[in-house]
Structure 1
């Protein structure tokens, strides 16, 4: 491993998360709504196959007028089946943790494979459904911590000046209100 110390160029990395709540009954919000890695200097990074940026954490909340089954997806350009595109060559991953619906702890299952635990990882093209005791959970308030992990190939830092890398996407609530009889 060689640590480069003679390259004074900087790289700025920014991740934006835009919001798009699909259920008109509910409002989805992120805090903070934007994650900024700031400037990353090549001389501060050990040359390696990948540069792993520090995990960033933010809070997601959904507030509904009427109870709704809580199901989420993240829509962004896929990097591969396990993450979303960050810049041209990097990727980021999102994981939901410490989720609660109306104060009750819930787990996550894939809407596409409801018999398998998703461990909270949001994957391209997939939705997660909040579950407890093996059943989908309906409620008015969902809160969760979202961990963001980002990695870039070292070559992405080989720029002549400052460059911005972005990962853009939106969370979508894809649930419908639960009929009053339930």
Structure 2
């Protein structure tokens, strides 16, 4: 699975990932209990944003949506991304949807939505954002019903949606 091009830039900030590819390896259907869905092990990596000037921190993940709750993995699978343990300039922050700023987003990146770093109910600006990204992937069992080897992949990228903050703030 391809997540992003390392060191993507937006305005005065640079976004980087500890891993740009996640590999689940070979998934054998004989090793999976027949069920409605096959849940793959959670994968974790780190995301860092460094800015020259303080910036409001907001992120989105851009990929083909599977539904309103996740992104496409293969033809029928879904992956979900969650931001955890986020800090801006060493201060713990939570997340709110840019589309509904009064609601906590609990760090889940949803199709078509951006998450804004917040503390004490207000957006947070800073020079350094760090967060852990957890990816949970599931496939319908019948996606493993292939005669030979089949490659399943998902592609997407993180985008930093931030603006420099005027020096007076």
**TM-score normalised to the size of structure 2?**
0.97
CA–CA distance in structure 2, aligned partners of residues 22 and 70 of structure 1? 13
Q: Please report how far the alpha carbon of residue 22 of structure 1 lies from its aligned counterpart in structure 2 after TM superposition.
A: 5.4
Q: Does residue 54 of the first structure (1) align with residue 34 of the second (2)? A: no
Q: State the SS of the aligned residue for 2:149.
A: coil
Pick one of 78, 85, 95 that aligns with 1:108.
95
User: Could you tell me which residue of structure 1 aligns to residue 2 of structure 2?
Assistant: 16
User: Could you tell me which residue of structure 2 aligns to residue 175 of structure 1?
Assistant: 162
User: Of Structure 1 and Structure 2, which has the larger fraction of its residues in strand?
Assistant: 1
Q: Does residue 39 of the first structure (1) align with residue 26 of the second (2)? A: yes
User: Could you tell me which residue of structure 2 aligns to residue 79 of structure 1?
Assistant: 66
CA–CA distance in structure 2, aligned partners of residues 61 and 55 of structure 1? 20
Q: Please report how far the alpha carbon of residue 180 of structure 1 lies from its aligned counterpart in structure 2 after TM superposition.
A: 1.0
User: Could you tell me which residue of structure 2 aligns to residue 65 of structure 1?
Assistant: 52
5 Å matches for 1:141-152?
141-152=128-139
User: Could you tell me which residue of structure 2 aligns to residue 12 of structure 1?
Assistant: none
CA–CA distance in structure 2, aligned partners of residues 157 and 75 of structure 1? 26
User: Could you tell me which residue of structure 1 aligns to residue 105 of structure 2?
Assistant: 118
Deviations 1:48-103 (A, max 9, x none): 00000000000000000110000000000000000000000000000000000000
User: Could you tell me which residue of structure 2 aligns to residue 159 of structure 1?
Assistant: 146
Number of residues of Structure 1 aligned to a counterpart in Structure 2: 168
The 8 Å contact of residues 99 and 106 in structure 1, kept in 2 or not, is answered as yes
Q: Please report how far the alpha carbon of residue 21 of structure 1 lies from its aligned counterpart in structure 2 after TM superposition.
A: 3.9
User: Could you tell me which residue of structure 2 aligns to residue 3 of structure 1?
Assistant: none
User: Could you tell me which residue of structure 1 aligns to residue 120 of structure 2?
Assistant: 133
Superposition RMSD on alpha carbons, in Å? 1.0
CA–CA distance in structure 1, aligned partners of residues 9 and 90 of structure 2? 23
